[in-house]
Amino acid sequence: MTTVDYHHSRLVADDRRDVLWQSLWRYCFSAMVRPDDCVLDLGAGYCNFINSVVARRRIAVDWWEGFPANLAPGIEHKVGSVTDLDFLDDGAVDFAFASNLFEHLTKDEFSMTLDALRPKLSKHGTLTILQPNYRYAFREYFDDFDHKSVYTHVSLPDYLVAHGYEVFLVKPRFMPLSVKGRLPIKPFLIRAWLAAPIKPIGKQMLVRARPRR
Protein backbone atom coordinates (compact mmCIF):
# COMPACT_ATOMS: atom_id res chain seq x y z
CA MET A 1 0.00 0.00 0.00
CA THR A 2 1.32 3.47 -0.89
CA THR A 3 1.70 5.89 2.02
CA VAL A 4 -0.10 9.19 1.43
CA ASP A 5 2.22 12.06 2.34
CA TYR A 6 -0.35 14.74 3.18
CA HIS A 7 2.23 17.07 4.74
CA HIS A 8 4.29 17.28 1.55
CA SER A 9 1.39 17.68 -0.84
CA ARG A 10 -1.69 19.49 0.46
CA LEU A 11 -0.44 20.71 3.84
CA VAL A 12 3.11 21.90 3.32
CA ALA A 13 5.04 24.02 5.83
CA ASP A 14 4.36 27.74 5.51
CA ASP A 15 5.96 30.46 7.64
CA ARG A 16 2.85 32.59 7.27
CA ARG A 17 1.08 30.25 9.68
CA ASP A 18 3.39 31.39 12.48
CA VAL A 19 2.41 35.01 11.86
CA LEU A 20 -1.26 34.07 11.77
CA TRP A 21 -1.29 32.00 14.94
CA GLN A 22 0.89 34.33 16.96
CA SER A 23 -1.51 37.13 16.05
CA LEU A 24 -4.61 35.04 16.78
CA TRP A 25 -3.17 34.14 20.15
CA ARG A 26 -2.32 37.74 20.98
CA TYR A 27 -5.56 39.31 19.79
CA CYS A 28 -8.08 36.55 20.48
CA PHE A 29 -7.27 33.28 22.20
CA SER A 30 -5.12 34.68 25.00
CA ALA A 31 -8.32 36.16 26.45
CA MET A 32 -9.79 32.64 26.69
CA VAL A 33 -6.86 31.01 28.50
CA ARG A 34 -5.71 31.74 32.04
CA PRO A 35 -1.99 31.62 32.88
CA ASP A 36 -2.58 28.63 35.19
CA ASP A 37 -4.52 26.62 32.61
CA CYS A 38 -3.60 23.38 30.89
CA VAL A 39 -4.03 23.67 27.11
CA LEU A 40 -4.47 20.65 24.84
CA ASP A 41 -3.99 21.01 21.07
CA LEU A 42 -5.82 18.23 19.20
CA GLY A 43 -4.34 17.57 15.77
CA ALA A 44 -1.43 19.94 16.35
CA GLY A 45 0.14 19.56 12.90
CA TYR A 46 2.93 22.09 12.52
CA CYS A 47 2.25 23.23 16.11
CA ASN A 48 1.72 26.88 15.19
CA PHE A 49 -1.07 27.29 17.73
CA ILE A 50 0.38 25.47 20.72
CA ASN A 51 3.79 27.09 20.22
CA SER A 52 2.10 30.49 20.58
CA VAL A 53 0.21 29.62 23.77
CA VAL A 54 1.28 30.98 27.15
CA ALA A 55 -0.02 28.67 29.89
CA ARG A 56 1.09 26.57 32.84
CA ARG A 57 0.97 23.34 30.84
CA ARG A 58 0.82 22.76 27.08
CA ILE A 59 0.12 19.40 25.43
CA ALA A 60 -0.03 18.51 21.73
CA VAL A 61 -1.47 15.40 20.07
CA ASP A 62 -1.26 14.35 16.43
CA TRP A 63 -1.08 11.09 14.46
CA TRP A 64 1.72 12.51 12.23
CA GLU A 65 5.05 11.12 13.40
CA GLY A 66 6.87 14.21 12.16
CA PHE A 67 4.94 16.73 14.24
CA PRO A 68 7.14 16.70 17.40
CA ALA A 69 9.99 18.25 15.39
CA ASN A 70 7.93 21.45 15.17
CA LEU A 71 7.26 21.79 18.91
CA ALA A 72 8.77 24.58 21.00
CA PRO A 73 10.65 23.53 24.16
CA GLY A 74 8.56 22.64 27.19
CA ILE A 75 5.52 21.30 25.36
CA GLU A 76 4.39 17.76 26.13
CA HIS A 77 3.34 15.64 23.20
CA LYS A 78 1.80 12.35 22.17
CA VAL A 79 2.02 10.80 18.71
CA GLY A 80 -1.27 9.02 18.21
CA SER A 81 -4.94 9.34 17.43
CA VAL A 82 -7.05 12.06 19.04
CA THR A 83 -9.64 9.35 19.70
CA ASP A 84 -7.39 7.95 22.44
CA LEU A 85 -6.59 10.37 25.27
CA ASP A 86 -5.97 7.79 27.99
CA PHE A 87 -2.49 9.20 28.58
CA LEU A 88 -4.12 12.24 30.22
CA ASP A 89 -5.43 12.37 33.78
CA ASP A 90 -9.15 12.97 34.22
CA GLY A 91 -9.91 16.64 34.78
CA ALA A 92 -6.47 17.76 33.59
CA VAL A 93 -7.42 19.93 30.61
CA ASP A 94 -8.83 23.45 30.89
CA PHE A 95 -8.74 24.52 27.25
CA ALA A 96 -8.91 21.97 24.44
CA PHE A 97 -8.41 23.29 20.92
CA ALA A 98 -8.90 21.76 17.48
CA SER A 99 -8.08 23.65 14.31
CA ASN A 100 -9.01 22.16 10.94
CA LEU A 101 -9.25 18.69 12.42
CA PHE A 102 -12.75 17.28 12.51
CA GLU A 103 -13.44 17.66 8.79
CA HIS A 104 -10.59 15.14 8.35
CA LEU A 105 -12.25 12.55 10.61
CA THR A 106 -15.25 10.35 10.05
CA LYS A 107 -18.28 11.12 12.21
CA ASP A 108 -17.56 7.99 14.25
CA GLU A 109 -14.02 9.21 14.90
CA PHE A 110 -15.34 12.64 15.88
CA SER A 111 -17.77 11.00 18.28
CA MET A 112 -14.98 8.91 19.80
CA THR A 113 -12.86 12.05 20.25
CA LEU A 114 -15.66 13.88 22.05
CA ASP A 115 -16.20 10.87 24.32
CA ALA A 116 -12.46 10.60 25.03
CA LEU A 117 -12.13 14.31 25.78
CA ARG A 118 -15.13 14.71 28.08
CA PRO A 119 -13.60 13.16 31.24
CA LYS A 120 -10.26 14.88 30.61
CA LEU A 121 -11.78 18.36 30.85
CA SER A 122 -11.68 20.16 34.17
CA LYS A 123 -14.79 21.57 35.85
CA HIS A 124 -14.44 24.74 33.80
CA GLY A 125 -12.88 23.00 30.78
CA THR A 126 -13.94 23.92 27.25
CA LEU A 127 -13.48 22.76 23.67
CA THR A 128 -12.81 25.38 21.00
CA ILE A 129 -13.12 24.36 17.35
CA LEU A 130 -11.93 26.30 14.31
CA GLN A 131 -12.64 24.77 10.92
CA PRO A 132 -14.12 25.41 7.47
CA ASN A 133 -17.80 26.30 7.35
CA TYR A 134 -19.25 24.39 4.43
CA ARG A 135 -22.06 26.95 4.12
CA TYR A 136 -19.51 29.51 2.90
CA ALA A 137 -16.61 27.31 1.71
CA PHE A 138 -18.48 24.74 -0.40
CA ARG A 139 -16.66 25.68 -3.62
CA GLU A 140 -13.22 24.95 -2.14
CA TYR A 141 -14.12 22.38 0.51
CA PHE A 142 -13.16 19.27 -1.40
CA ASP A 143 -10.07 20.78 -2.98
CA ASP A 144 -8.54 19.17 0.09
CA PHE A 145 -8.55 15.49 -0.81
CA ASP A 146 -8.44 14.46 2.85
CA HIS A 147 -11.74 16.10 3.84
CA LYS A 148 -14.10 13.36 4.98
CA SER A 149 -16.96 15.12 6.78
CA VAL A 150 -19.03 18.23 6.17
CA TYR A 151 -20.13 20.71 8.86
CA THR A 152 -21.70 24.14 8.95
CA HIS A 153 -22.20 26.61 11.79
CA VAL A 154 -25.60 24.92 12.26
CA SER A 155 -24.72 21.23 11.98
CA LEU A 156 -21.52 21.37 14.05
CA PRO A 157 -23.18 22.85 17.16
CA ASP A 158 -26.07 20.39 16.74
CA TYR A 159 -23.60 17.51 16.57
CA LEU A 160 -21.88 18.69 19.74
CA VAL A 161 -25.20 19.02 21.59
CA ALA A 162 -26.23 15.53 20.43
CA HIS A 163 -23.01 14.21 21.99
CA GLY A 164 -23.51 15.74 25.41
CA TYR A 165 -21.90 19.16 25.01
CA GLU A 166 -23.31 22.62 25.62
CA VAL A 167 -22.46 25.16 22.91
CA PHE A 168 -21.95 28.70 24.18
CA LEU A 169 -20.32 30.52 21.25
CA VAL A 170 -20.74 30.30 17.48
CA LYS A 171 -19.00 32.63 15.00
CA PRO A 172 -19.96 31.53 11.47
CA ARG A 173 -17.38 33.70 9.66
CA PHE A 174 -14.49 33.84 12.09
CA MET A 175 -11.58 33.77 9.61
CA PRO A 176 -10.78 33.47 5.88
CA LEU A 177 -10.35 29.92 4.66
CA SER A 178 -6.58 29.64 4.29
CA VAL A 179 -3.22 31.40 4.40
CA LYS A 180 -2.95 30.43 0.71
CA GLY A 181 -5.32 33.24 -0.27
CA ARG A 182 -4.37 36.55 -1.80
CA LEU A 183 -4.74 38.54 1.41
CA PRO A 184 -1.42 39.45 3.08
CA ILE A 185 -0.79 37.83 6.47
CA LYS A 186 0.13 40.80 8.68
CA PRO A 187 -0.52 41.18 12.44
CA PHE A 188 -2.22 44.57 12.09
CA LEU A 189 -4.53 43.23 9.38
CA ILE A 190 -5.43 40.20 11.48
CA ARG A 191 -6.20 42.46 14.43
CA ALA A 192 -8.38 44.67 12.22
CA TRP A 193 -10.16 41.61 10.80
CA LEU A 194 -10.97 40.27 14.26
CA ALA A 195 -12.38 43.64 15.30
CA ALA A 196 -14.49 44.09 12.15
CA PRO A 197 -18.25 43.65 12.76
CA ILE A 198 -18.81 42.21 9.26
CA LYS A 199 -16.60 39.56 7.64
CA PRO A 200 -17.97 38.91 4.15
CA ILE A 201 -15.09 36.63 3.04
CA GLY A 202 -14.94 34.65 6.29
CA LYS A 203 -15.19 30.92 5.55
CA GLN A 204 -13.89 29.38 8.78
CA MET A 205 -16.18 29.12 11.78
CA LEU A 206 -15.37 29.21 15.49
CA VAL A 207 -17.46 27.10 17.86
CA ARG A 208 -16.95 26.81 21.62
CA ALA A 209 -18.54 24.17 23.84
CA ARG A 210 -18.28 22.47 27.21
CA PRO A 211 -19.59 19.17 28.55
CA ARG A 212 -23.19 19.36 29.67
CA ARG A 213 -23.20 18.91 33.43
pLDDT tens for the chain, residues 1 to 213:
334 554 554 455 567 788 899 999 999 999 999 999 999 999 999 999 999 999 999 999 999 999 999 999 999 999 999 999 999 999 999 999 999 999 999 999 999 999 999 999 999 999 999 999 999 999 988 988 889 999 999 999 999 999 999 999 999 999 986 655 566 778 888 899 899 988 888 999 999 999 998
- CA 131 to mean position of chain CA atoms: 7
Which candidate, 150, 204, 156, places its Cα nearest to that of 177? Answer: 204
Residues 6 or more apart whose CB falls under 8 angstroms from that of 194 comprise: 24, 27, 28
- Where do the domains of the chain lie, and which CATH numbers do they carry? 8-211 (3.40.50.150)
The predicted model scores a pTM of 0.91
What's the chain's Rg over C-alpha atoms?
16
C-beta neighbour count of 156 within 10 angstroms: 24
